[in-house]
Amino acid sequence: MTNSDFTTRFTVDQTPEEAFAAVNNVGRWWQGEIKGSSGKLGDEFTYEFKPYHYSKQKVTEFLPGKKVTWLVTDSSLNFLNDKTEWTGTKITFEIGWSGKKTEIRFTHAGLVPEIECYGACSNAWSSLIKGSLRSLITTGVGEEVF
């Protein structure tokens, strides 16, 4: 069985620990308003990009330098028919060595081609992950992508 969850990856010269720190500095790479914290297991934060997107994430896995998972516990995506499409999905960053580089693998489990948000959301994630997050890891500054 093939996994159809949205996944993307990239490599950088920085260490896994540096990449992990950038991932968890959510407000520096995910454009919009971030409230709360994502720095340890059990933390919760909200993301809002008015008037289109609201979501609440809970940190359910936190392995420093290796992996972090957020469970989306609430969502309202106002451009969709089912505004709660993200609720119950999981967002995971897996970080590790790939040769002499650090690889960051992003997966949004539940963001699959069969749901309405897939096209717009996978494009947005690609820009955020490969643009803004990569820039934050490599230069210390996230990029505006929207």
Whether the Cβ atoms of residue 90 and residue 70 lie closer than 8 Å to each other: yes
Query: What digits encode the pLDDT tens for the residues 60-85?
Result: 999 999 999 999 999 999 999 999 99
**Average pLDDT, whole number, for the chain?**
95
66 within a domain of the structure (yes/no): yes
Query: What digits encode the pLDDT tens for the residues 83-131?
Result: 999 999 999 999 999 999 999 999 999 999 999 999 999 999 999 999 9
69 within a domain of the structure (yes/no): yes
32 within a domain of the structure (yes/no): yes
pLDDT higher than 70, residue 144? yes
7 within a domain of the structure (yes/no): no
Domain count across the chain: 1
Quote the domain boundaries for residue 67. 16-139
Return the CATH number at 92.
3.30.530.20
106: left (phi over 0), alpha (psi -120 to 50) or beta: beta
